[in-house]
Amino acid sequence: MSIKKASEVRTWRDTPVGARFFLAQEIEARLREMALPEVKGQVPAPEWIGLILLQLHAMLHSAEPSDVRKIKQVFRID
């Protein structure tokens, strides 16, 4: 009897595309945190914005066309 371990089954999440997608979700969550009522109206530190833009740029630069569609969905970009 050969049992497969879930940790050894590769899925879309384990590919570079999947990893970037989940990174995009993480970034989305962080952007939403910044928009919480208690911080709304405050201007985020320029370093913060720069970091986000750098991450986005890196993701989109290496993304396949189909990934761009997914990334745009995550960030609600038309």
Q: Where along the sequence are the contacts to another protein (CB under 8 A)?
A: 1-7, 9, 11-13, 22, 25-26, 28-29
Pick the closer one to another protein by CB: 29 or 43.
29
Q: How far is the CB of 21 from another protein (least distance, A)?
A: 9
**Residue appearing with tokens 């990893």:** 19
Q: How far is the CB of 13 from another protein (least distance, A)?
A: 7
Angle, vertex CA 18, rays to CA 77 and CA 14, nearest 5: 170
Q: How far is the CB of 1 from another protein (least distance, A)?
A: 6
Query: Could you tell me if 74 and 25 are in contact, meaning their C-beta atoms sit under 8 angstroms apart?
Result: yes
